[in-house]
Structure 1
Amino acid sequence: MKLAILILAGGTSSRMGTPKQLLPYKNTHLLGQVIEQASATHNSEVYCVLGAFKEEIKKSIDLSKVNIIENTHFNHGLSTSIVAGIQVLQQLTYDAVLILLADQPLITTDDINCLRSAAIKNPHVIIASEYGKKTGVPALFPKNYFSELLQLKGDAGARALLNNPNTPLIKIPSNHLKDIDTPEEYQSLLNNQ
């Protein structure tokens, strides 16, 4: 399976009040941690969608292991970063895309490999993460879903597609994953590292 990993890092961090992609974490930043884990995955090419704060990110984080995709419509929500990424990837020869978020620093290479393994056995089905009562990203989408991803609008990302009862998907439990959206969530992350 030829897999592209697409890290969404174009958001404005409105709830955080500061660019969360650049918040210090371990020996890097939130985004840097996600890039490190994605880059350690075998046989995958990593892409990162930048929008808001792109110049600050380029100055602060080592992006040498990733291909940069710029989202000029980042003010219109998370879906625009997915669309920007898929517009590039659909022109290439990938069998699937694995979508990650820059604000999920607890993602591991093992998590990514687990999703990939499930996709190899089920190549035409979406493989999504399940944490708590939520189904979401990281999620792996076969290329037969690229056209649906290109139709996404607003700030919900792929949530509607992943939570549509008519969408065939396999859920992989990932109870340690969480989004870091607020200063309180970031402080909790730091307290538990």
Structure 2
Amino acid sequence: MTAPSPSRAALSAIILAAGQSNRMGAMNKLLLEWGQGGTIVREVAENARAAGVDDLIVVTGHEAERVKRALECMECTFVDNPSYRDGLASSLKAGFNAAIGSGAPGALILLGDMPLVTAAVIGRVIEAAAANPECLVQPVAEGMPAHPVWLPKRIKLAIDRLEGDSGARALIAGEGDNVVNVEVPASASVDLDTVDDYRDAIGTLT
């Protein structure tokens, strides 16, 4: 049986927002200011909405209540990950299992610290996923892996086996010809791990 193609309206997008932001020191990078009074994680969510995603799942862990408040008045499903200290894989599994548990044919994986991934980039990945629903879709920016990544339901067992900080990149490495690459702008590979990363990114907005 062929899997249904994801459409913008039916597609689930997962925002991984559970991490501890260790390289930012005492600051939770997801809650840093972005744009006109917003936050980084809210910008990520709003970009997904602007791309036409209706089913938005946010995986929380570290400072979960603060992250939820940053997203108030947005229609999101929150999935708390009590094992977030174990690494990225635990959050990916929690979000993905929630998505396919609701009947989604897969999920688009967004990182909560990548506000420069625009609605246009997200839409480009959705279009590639709709045309290739059984494949993984990997955005590529100037030869470097970027985000978001589309993961089809069929790889659930591989996701369940992930541990530590392994994520989509580990899955893509084992899929060979079942990966569709989509060219995207360089900004789609920029995550904000450090204070300098944040300052550089804010500088692009002015």
Same fold (TM over 0.5): yes
Q: Secondary structure at the match of 1:32?
A: helix
Q: CA deviation at 1:77?
A: 0.6
**1:46 corresponds to which of 32, 56, 61:** 56
Partner Cα separation in structure 2 for residue 42 and residue 61 of structure 1: 17
Residues 67-146 of structure 1 mapped to structure 2, 5 A cutoff? 67-146=77-156
**1:36 corresponds to which of 23, 38, 46:** 46
Structure 1 outlier segments of 4+, above 6 Å: none
Structure 2 stretches of 5 or more lacking a match? 1-5
* TM-score under structure 1 length normalisation: 0.93
Q: CA deviation at 1:16?
A: 1.2
Q: CA deviation at 1:92?
A: 1.6
Q: Secondary structure at the match of 1:94?
A: coil
- 1:51–1:167 Cα change, 3 Å: farther
Query: Do the aligned residues in 1 keep the contact of 2:13 with 2:53 (CA within 8 Å)?
Result: no
Q: CA deviation at 1:168?
A: 1.7
Could you tell which deviates more after superposition, 71-80 or 143-152?
A: 143-152
Query: Do the aligned residues in 2 keep the contact of 1:15 with 1:182 (CA within 8 Å)?
Result: yes
* TM-score under structure 2 length normalisation: 0.87
Partner Cα separation in structure 1 for residue 101 and residue 78 of structure 2: 15
Could you tell which deviates more after superposition, 22-31 or 38-47?
A: 38-47
Structure 1 stretches of 5 or more lacking a match? none
Residue in 2 that maps onto 1:14: 22
Residue in 1 that maps onto 2:3: none
Partner Cα separation in structure 1 for residue 178 and residue 22 of structure 2: 33
Same amino acid, percent of matched pairs: 28
Cα deviation, 1:129-183, whole Å, max 9, x if unaligned, reads 1124432531001111222122211113222112336362011122222111011
Partner Cα separation in structure 2 for residue 43 and residue 21 of structure 1: 20
Q: CA RMSD in A?
A: 1.6
Partner Cα separation in structure 2 for residue 34 and residue 164 of structure 1: 28
Q: CA deviation at 1:57?
A: 1.7
Q: CA deviation at 1:49?
A: 0.4
- 1:63–1:141 Cα change, 3 Å: farther
Residue in 2 that maps onto 1:62: 72
Query: Do the aligned residues in 1 keep the contact of 2:99 with 2:106 (CA within 8 Å)?
Result: no
Residue in 2 that maps onto 1:176: 187
